[in-house]
Structure 1
Amino acid sequence: MFKATFAALISLMAAVSGAPTTFSIPPTLLEARLSAWKAGDPSVKPAVNQLIRSADKALGMLPSSVMDKKLLPPGGDRHDYYSFGIYWWPDPEKPDGLPYIRKDGVVNPASREGIDSVPFGRTNHAVLTLGLAYFFSGKEAYAAKAAELARVWYLDAGTRMNPNFNHAQAVPGRNDGRGIGLIEASTLPDLMDGIALIRPSEAWTEQDDAGMTEWLGAFYRWLRTSRNGLDQEKASNNHGVYYDVLASHLALYLGKKEEAEKRLRDALVRRVDAQIRPDGKQPHELKRTISFSYTIFNTDAFLQLATLGESVGVDYWNHRGPQGQGLEPAMDLLAPYADREKPWELGQQIKPVGRSSILPFLQQALRYEENPGYRSLLEKHGSEKKDERWRLTR
């Protein structure tokens, strides 16, 4: 007797309702953008056109897999994900450079070579891009390409990645992988939403869906029980916030709604109250050598939690901690810096940062509450972000 997986069930629900079963992108928002595009809304058309161009480019991608990397992970299984800490460099005072030393905020280019982090992120991002293009256009070629990319990285026996991050962000001479490496899994929500978007297509089969649910279920168990996973759950900075984003999205995808809701409610205290001051500052991020970059990065994670919270009725925007901590104060602090003329004076910033990355945050905040200051900044600087696809998803 056939026993439907949760993924198969929500696929059926989506087919009946017409709504995609995304979690990091509100389904109602996608439907509204689709309706606006079909109606010829000029505020949406450029973003959809750009999305289609990106998807057309992705059609030419060769599938990547963990088997492509040049370096063999510790333990000798090439199916294991493997990467290096990006801020770690050879010690110039040691003949062999070992153990590596840390230079916060300074990326070692060698950390990007011959390992899995770059193709992993590129694959997940492409699956979402193609999934969105399929949603807006109905073109089967986009769904078929997204399915191909996902199968090669996650499902096919000869090329699939093992569902763990045991060897993420290893540091030569120090360790074979760290919990901190889980930050590189922050693109998995792209994969999950991309898969949700292509479910109506014949290119994504029930067998594919069951296989992906199995893989993500195994990764979720690893995340919740492994040394590296538990290490990141305890993190008190951006790593802890992104852990909750990932764990909550996985729980929602796997049908563990109560687990997701509990984690998202707990994060109001454990993450928002603990990491954001009443004046909106994020002290753990401000002490970094690229404090502006990390403030943006962590604010994005908080906004992702807010979006996930919409799925289970957890309100991040109106939450206030005992001293007035909240996501809105954090946004009020950050928003003015969308203006490139406003100097960053809250901490070190040893390299340039793209101010336009704040613009999607403003658009998301305006979904929660009208704010003339936010809207003015968005109208004044909105054209500065060349990739306009955020207008469809935030």
Structure 2
Amino acid sequence: MWKAAKTSTLVLLAACLSWAPAVHSFYSYDNDFIPPQYFLSKNWSNTTLEAQQTILAWAEETAAKGPWSVMNKTITPPSGTKHDYMSWAPYWWPDCSKAGNTTELTPEQSTPTLRVFHSTTDILSHLARFSHSIRLYACISGIVWVTCAYVPRDGQFNPDVRTLINDIGNFGDMSDAILYNSISWAINGDSKYPTRIANWIDTWFLNNDTMMNPNLNYAQMNRGPTGQVGTHTGILDLKSMAKIAVGILILREGKAPEWTTEVDNGFDAWIKAYIPWLTSAKIALEEMNSANNHGSFYFNQLASLQILSGDKDGAKQTIQKFFTGIYENQIAANGDQPFESERTHPYHYRAYNLQAMLTNARLGAYVGFNAWNVTTKQGGTIKSALDFAMTKAAGSEPASEIYMIVQAIAASYGDPGNTYANWLLQNAGPDYVKDACFLWNQPLSDNGLVNVTSLTSSASAAGAAATGKNQKANDASAVQRYGVLVYTLCVAAGLFVLRGL
């Protein structure tokens, strides 16, 4: 009898799993821009229910990492203040062959650690003898940073760029948190989301003790004996301003009480101090003229900031400049992206630039410029670039890098034969409907994967009426909460019975 009871209880617990929230593991999209009214209207299909659950979960997961500040780094920029943003060029490695070593170091040896470098000079050997009592990592690394020349190794990420300085990672985490917390507020109206966002913006941009100065003078610095200066590639570090723009516009246009006039005005002032730097600094202009993904993401960033500052005309001019400028040479007649295909990780870089081009097109649509069918000099379009990329094997690179883009292209260009939806089902699997971006990349077929039978008959009968569609969104949110409650109670009951057995 005991075994039968235990078996029955385990069956109950297994049944409970059917009520478990369907949540995709967190994934940071390279960039995106979605009109705020898309979320505020709540005019969503019931098939986006699982994507909404994912967004609510990601809002909590990303929020747990904050707040963020440039003051958190342990290394001070050459300016002498941590208020200046700072990062190191990720694909540059020390070559100490002319600084006391006899040979150029391998990539593994080039990581600045005590084991590698305490034979480089007499002083390092002296310091090494006292390694049992003093902390040498930063000291020895610092000597390497200013003594050894740094050389590029494309595609080989130097791990020490995130060891002591992570302004770039912190900014990326914050942009994701702002995006998903703002969308979550649009989904269920919980005041905790805009409260968090206001705090994060204040901490990173406004508070005198923790704010970032409005420049990227020390972004992706090249280290070495010639000095510590930022490079144009560092402008890429703030590409996800587009995500922040989406979040702030949702709160502004949705009139979230927690997004106060004081914070909004303060952020607007910071942006208006940063845009002149972004449009005049030497390294910023070099990035603007970059022929590959770096240039594409520059226009993402500038147009997003112009929209946030209320300059839609300026944003439109910025997007037009992209599509009549560097874009013209980015896509070949067959859809290949030659500047990305020549890199050491072509699958990744094709997807990377595709996301940048897609974001520019979405920004353009928001300010009144239709870029979807703009062709390059060789006749390529964003769609043909994706179609080409879909034919290439990922190899050792994550195949998932292209999935979000396939969804976006299907939603933007249409997918009447379900070609893209079927490709997603075959390559990404049935979980593609749980992707956060499935909520905003609509219309897109769910291939019958989302079970909406639990929705109320009133929502199902609402049909095409706008009010009915809003009711569907509200009912979907209620179903999410109901499912979580049933799942929790069900599991608790099963565990209680097992404990009694």
TM-score, L = length of structure 1: 0.85
**Equivalent position of 1:392 in the other structure:** 439
Structure 1 vs Structure 2 CA RMSD: 2.0
Offset of 1:274 from its aligned partner?
1.4
The answer to whether the aligner puts 1:47 opposite 2:81 as a matched pair is no
**Equivalent position of 1:154 in the other structure:** 205
The answer to whether the aligner puts 1:375 opposite 2:375 as a matched pair is no
Amino acid at match of 2:36: P
Offset of 1:215 from its aligned partner?
0.7
Q: Deviations over 1:281-334 (max 9, x none)?
A: 111111111111111100110000110111123222212234312212112101
**Equivalent position of 2:367 in the other structure:** 312
CA contact (8 A) 2:48 2:433 kept: no
**Equivalent position of 2:399 in the other structure:** 355
SS at the partner of 1:90?
Answer: strand
SS at the partner of 1:168?
Answer: strand
**Equivalent position of 2:233 in the other structure:** 180
Partner Cα distance (1:376, 1:387) in 2:
15
**Equivalent position of 1:20 in the other structure:** none
Residue range with higher mean Cα deviation, 230-239 or 365-374: 365-374
Amino acid at match of 2:164: G
Offset of 1:202 from its aligned partner?
1.8
Residue range with higher mean Cα deviation, 358-367 or 105-114: 358-367
Q: How does 1:131-280 map to 2 (within 5 A)?
A: 131-173=182-224, 174=226, 175-199=228-252, 200-280=255-335
Offset of 1:31 from its aligned partner?
4.7
CA contact (8 A) 2:65 2:173 kept: no
The answer to whether the aligner puts 1:99 opposite 2:149 as a matched pair is yes
Amino acid at match of 1:119: N
CA contact (8 A) 2:316 2:367 kept: yes
Offset of 1:100 from its aligned partner?
1.4
Q: Deviations over 1:53-79 (max 9, x none)?
A: 122234433412111110000110110
Partner Cα distance (2:155, 2:49) in 1:
37
Offset of 1:27 from its aligned partner?
3.4
Partner Cα distance (1:263, 1:136) in 2:
32
Can you give the 5+ residue segments of structure 1 that lack an aligned partner in the other structure?
1-22, 338-342
Offset of 1:366 from its aligned partner?
1.9
Residue range with higher mean Cα deviation, 294-303 or 183-192: 183-192
Partner Cα distance (2:195, 2:438) in 1:
25
Partner Cα distance (1:354, 1:225) in 2:
37
Q: Deviations over 1:73-107 (max 9, x none)?
A: 01101100000011111215244461112111111
Partner residue of 2:159 out of 109, 116, 122: 109
**Equivalent position of 2:177 in the other structure:** 126
Offset of 1:36 from its aligned partner?
2.8
Q: Which of structures 1 and 2 has the bigger CA Rg?
A: 2
| Closer/same/farther in 2, CA of residues 45 and 104 from structure 1, 3 Å limit | same
SS at the partner of 1:358?
Answer: helix
Partner Cα distance (2:375, 2:64) in 1:
47
CA contact (8 A) 2:94 2:149 kept: yes
CA contact (8 A) 1:192 1:253 kept: yes
**Equivalent position of 2:44 in the other structure:** 36
CA contact (8 A) 2:51 2:438 kept: yes
Partner residue of 1:25 out of 20, 31, 34: 34
**Equivalent position of 1:281 in the other structure:** 336
Partner residue of 1:77 out of 54, 77, 81: 81
Partner Cα distance (1:375, 1:59) in 2:
31
CA contact (8 A) 1:81 1:167 kept: yes
Taking only the aligned residue pairs, the percentage that are identical comes to: 28
CA contact (8 A) 2:202 2:263 kept: yes
CA contact (8 A) 1:244 1:264 kept: yes
SS at the partner of 1:36?
Answer: coil
Partner Cα distance (1:190, 1:164) in 2:
19
Q: Deviations over 1:25-72 (max 9, x none)?
A: 12354356x3336xxx1x211111111112223443341211111000
Partner Cα distance (2:305, 2:213) in 1:
16
Residue range with higher mean Cα deviation, 238-247 or 52-61: 52-61
Partner Cα distance (2:345, 2:63) in 1:
35
CA contact (8 A) 1:26 1:393 kept: no
List structure 1 segments (4+ residues) > 4 angstroms apart after TM superposition: 384-387
Can you give the 5+ residue segments of structure 2 that lack an aligned partner in the other structure?
1-31, 100-119, 121-143, 442-501
